[in-house]
Every structure is written in structure tokens, then in C-alpha cells.
Amino acid sequence: MTGTSMERYLLGIDIGTSACKVIAVDSRGQVAAKAVGDYPVMSLRPGWAEQDPEYWWRAADKAVTEVLARLPDRRAVQGIGLSGQMHGLIALDKHDHVLRPAILWCDQRAAPHCDEITAKAGGLQGLLELVQNRMLPGFTAGKLLWMREHEPELFARLRRMLNPKDYLRLRLTGEHVTDVSDASGTGLFDVRNRAWSRPLMRLLDLPESILPEVVESSDRTGVLLPDLAARWGLPPATPVFGGGGDSVIQTTSMGVIDSGPLGVTLGTAGIVAGGMRSCPVPTGQLQISCGNAPGRWHVMGVTLTAGGAFEWLKQALASVSPATGALSFERMISMAREAPAGSGGLLFLPYLLGERCPHVAADGRAAWIGLTSMHGGPHLVRSVMEGVLLNIRTIAALCVSSGLACDEIRASGGAMSEPFWSQLLADVLQREVTTVTGAAEGGAYGAVLAAGVGRGWWTTLDEAVATLEVTSRTAPDRALDPLYASRFSTFRGLYDALQPVMAQIAAEAAPTNKNVPLQPTSPIEAT
């Protein structure tokens, strides 16, 4: 299709952890416009992470307005796809007003309640039979029990729970709907049968009425509210489609929906994932979700800190000498290049927020091992990058042992904008790393692919991802294989060796008033 007057577009909106990203994609799969609006994460205590959902709406509204202003004809927009951070608990009252700040995916407070849920399900094996996943502290189910225990007055007013992207859908359409991939991350979803686990809801004494309707990722879930469509200048009844949880639909944006390539996403968190045509036998080591295509499943391991560790170090180094200002991303990469492969024997464990995979460890802590007076700033920077990627390699090994193929590494995420990250990923994993069109836009592009199937641009998601083209290939330096094999062997043993110390440190740092009911951490504006 050629010519501006005949062009058509789909919007993809991604509610990330630190920003909302909006893209407009044309009928050739090219990104025609994009915009980003950021917002803060609140943390009152170690291991806590919250956000005011109103920030998401304001950022999305602003970014959509900017994107539409850059299109030659905004009335050529044919639909909207959604993506968003998974597991976040948005608690709504009977008027759909937000009761408290959203408790995010990386929040670790509900670890004791996860143990309680597992026990009520009859142990790990019983839980795996019900929902095919271990109850991770980041999942929504534990947060509901935490809220019931610590905020009983607010919990009594709870009438609906939504995931972050689905709160945006509510503001767009007025509908309470989620998709199968995002529902998979609540801990309340029977992933094998692609339906809510009503037996688990009964065991936990949670009302089924709080659950949103669940659909496939390409299903139509409503249309823009008339006032909003008019304000944005979009066609009346512009459809909004199911979309997906970011960890899953990000992998879809890389074309990984079936066996073959293994997807690696390096954003704030790190994701290693692959696709399967049947729901695998669950072991609790990896997270199983419904895929974005009907009859497909998504198997992944998620480390809570990947690019986030790099950003943490950048801020920490800048704070040492605030007069010089924040270190740039480019300067940090330059420092890493100055250090030798292997960082002079320095190893970094990247468990700054606890960990989900390869270890379920709410009390996990980060650490440098092997630090000497011979190490300087460049060694610290490179060791953090290598530590993140050695952790990724550990998860990739788990994926392969579970039956996923690893013919190549398909990479995406913010870190992949820097070639040094791509080369280091290839070297540490000793696999060729490729990138494809659209993957750099993350979950927003995956949401467009799913929406395109729903809108009829493509017949199936397989057809949609077949349009993606390889944009880069990075071969590993084979001479570094012995070095990183040795580093990997040492790295894998460090968590078990240090876990007792981590647990003790976490216990000593725990607040003494953890059973005191808490008030919301920030004002929530009525929607």
C-alpha cells in the first residue's frame, strides 16, 4: 500500500515499569511515530515497589497525543494493542476507583503469603497441577493475601483486580478484561486450560467476582469511549485488542512464538524465553504462560535485575561525585570496554531486588566476589554487565534442559541499542545473537502484531511474525569460550555458597513492625 491518503496504522501502547511507550505502525510494519512518557517507582521499604496508576494514564494520554500529532492522518488508525508490566495488583472499588498504589512485579513483600498459598494447594506439586507455576513473590495472588492481612479495610472495599495494561484498557474502553498471557502471571490462572483456576480461588477464599474476563491476545475487547475518541481525533468505535503481558508479548515481537530461537530481553529485568505447541510438564523452575497465539505456550525464566543493575551502578557512581553530574550511558560503556574480558577475576551477583529465576529468593542480595585493590571503576562496570549475562546464561541452560530449542539467540530490550551489550551477550553465552525488525520497540510492537491479527492485517500470528526481518547478527568470539565457561562454572556455585549469609542479612534488615497495618503510600486520585 502506498500513498499517505491510503495508509493505515495501528497503535501499540506499553505500560512499562519506568515509562509508557506508544508507537504507530503502518501497513508495511514500519514505525511511523513514537513517544515516551516516564513516571517514578515508589519504595517505602527494602523489597517494595509501588506506582500510582494515575501516572500510567497521564503518561499514556500524553504519549498517544504526541504520536497522533505526528501522523499525516490520525483517522487512519484502525486499532490499538496493549502491553504492560505483568503481575501488578491494581485494586478497584465498586466505582472502579483505585484503592491503593499498584504493587508491582518486582515487589517482594508477599513471600510469606506465597508459602501460605502453596500449603493450601497441597504443596508445590498440588499447586503446579492447579496453575502450572510456582507461586512467586511477584505474582498477584500473594499480594491479594498481603492486602487482606495488612489493609483489611481497603480489602473489604475491593471489587475488581486488574493488571497494569488492563487498567489502561479500563480507562480506554470501560471494560474489565485481561488476556491469557497476562492472566498467566497472576498465579490464579490454569495455564494448561487457559482459564481462571476456580479451585484455587476457593482454597484461598477469594471471590471469583474480582477476576476480569479473559480473552486471547488478538481478540477485540471493546472500543474507545466516545469522549476519548473525539478528544484524540480517532474514528468512532476504534477497537482495542487483548494484547499481552510484556514478558510474553516482548518475546512475540522478536518472532519467538515456536520452537527454534531462544529470546533474550535485556530491559530493567531480564527474560529468557521460548515458544512451544503444548503446555510442558511444570517443574516450578521456569514460568509457564499462555502464548499470544491460541494453542501456543510461552516458557521463560525472569531475572528481576538485568539492565536495572547497570542503571543502579550508573547512579551509584554518579552519587560519589555529584558535582560532575550523572554518568552517561556512553561513558559507562566506555569504562566497560577498558576492562579485560572476565573483569580481572571479579564476579558480580545481580540480586539487587531478590531473585525469581534461576533462584526463587526474596531474600537474595547482590554481591561482588573477588574484589581486590587492583580493581577500578572499569572492572566494576564490566563485572556488573558480565554478572547479569552469566545469570542469563544460567536461565538459558534451564530452558534448554526443559526441552526448549536454542538454535540462536534473538535479542531485544533497551540494552541492545548498544553494540557492546550485544557482543558481550554473544561472548558470554557463546551463541550468535540476532535482532529483528520491530523488536527494539518491545512489547508495544508485539501488541501491534496481535492487534493486526485481530484487525485482519494478518490471518494468524505466525503470518504476522513471518514479516519480521533480521537486522543484525553478532557472532561470539570463540577464543573467549574457555574463559566464560570457567566464569560460568564459578558463578553457578556462588548463590548456594552465599545463600545463608544473604538470608541472615535480609532478616537483620527486615522492619520490626511488619504486622502493623499500612496506609497507602501516596494519594490516589479518583478516576
pLDDT tens digits, the chain, 527 residues: what are they?
Answer: 333 457 999 999 999 998 999 999 999 999 999 999 999 999 888 889 999 999 999 999 999 999 999 999 999 999 999 999 999 999 999 999 999 999 999 898 999 999 999 999 999 999 999 999 999 989 999 999 999 999 999 999 999 999 999 999 999 999 999 999 999 999 999 999 999 999 999 999 999 999 999 999 999 999 999 999 999 999 999 999 999 999 899 999 999 999 889 999 998 889 999 999 999 999 998 999 999 999 999 999 989 899 999 999 998 888 776 655 568 889 999 999 999 999 999 999 999 988 989 998 888 999 999 999 999 999 999 999 999 999 999 999 999 988 898 888 999 988 888 899 999 999 999 999 999 998 889 899 999 999 999 999 999 999 999 999 999 999 999 999 999 999 999 999 999 999 999 999 988 887 654 443 334 443 333 32
Question: Which of 48, 87, 66, 91 is CA-nearest to residue 11?
Answer: 66
Place of cell 499517505: 4
Return the C-alpha cell found at 351. 540480586
- In this prediction the pTM is 0.87
Q: Does 97 belong to an annotated binding site?
A: no
Contact 66, 13 (CB under 8 A): no
Question: Which of 201, 182, 178 is CA-nearest to residue 130?
Answer: 201
On the question of a cis peptide bond just before residue 358, with omega within 30 degrees of 0, the verdict is yes
Angle at alpha carbon of residue 361, lines to 193 and 113, rounded to 5°: 60
Distance CA 457, CA 450 (A): 10
Return the C-alpha cell found at 426. 554473544
Angle at alpha carbon of residue 392, lines to 388 and 393, rounded to 5°: 120
What residues does CATH 3.30.420.40 cover in the chain? 7-242+440-468, 255-436+477-502
Distance CA 74, CA 232 (A): 9
Distance CA 86, CA 20 (A): 14
Distance CA 146, CA 127 (A): 19
Which pLDDT belongs to residue 108?
A: 87
Q: For residue 336, count CB atoms less than 10 angstroms from its CB and return exposed for 0-12, middle for 13-18, buried for 19 or more.
A: buried
Return the C-alpha cell found at 116. 501460605
DSSP string, 95-161: TS-B-SPEEPTT--TTHHHHHHHHHHTTSHHHHHHHHSS---TTSHHHHHHHHHHH-HHHHHT--EE
Which pLDDT belongs to residue 518?
A: 39
Helix (H, G, I), strand (E, B) or coil at 367: strand
Residue 246 annotated as catalytic: yes
Supply the Cα-derived Rg of the chain in whole angstroms. Answer: 22
Q: For residue 202, count CB atoms less than 10 angstroms from its CB and return exposed for 0-12, middle for 13-18, buried for 19 or more.
A: exposed
Distance CA 390, CA 343 (A): 13
Q: Does 332 belong to an annotated binding site?
A: no
Contact 356, 138 (CB under 8 A): yes
Return the C-alpha cell found at 272. 529468557
Distance CA 307, CA 196 (A): 33
Chain centroid to CA 403: 23
Q: CATH second-level architecture of 7-242+440-468?
A: 2-Layer Sandwich (3.30)
Contact 54, 97 (CB under 8 A): no
Place of cell 532478616: 507
Q: Which residues, 6 or more positions from 363, have their beta carbon under 8 angstroms from its beta carbon?
A: 111, 354, 502, 503, 505, 506, 507
Distance CA 128, CA 120 (A): 12
Question: Which of 100, 107, 101, 59 is CA-nearest to residue 86?
Answer: 107
Q: Which residues, 6 or more positions from 57, have their beta carbon under 8 angstroms from its beta carbon?
A: 167, 168, 171, 527
Contact 83, 13 (CB under 8 A): yes
Q: Could you give the C-alpha distances from 31 to 28, 115, 207, 458, in angstroms and in order?
A: 9, 45, 42, 17
Q: CATH second-level architecture of 255-436+477-502?
A: 2-Layer Sandwich (3.30)
Q: For residue 127, count CB atoms less than 10 angstroms from its CB and return exposed for 0-12, middle for 13-18, buried for 19 or more.
A: buried
Q: Residue 288 forms beta bridges with which residues?
A: 299
Which pLDDT belongs to residue 3?
A: 39
Q: Which of 246, 427, 477, 496 is catalytic?
A: 246
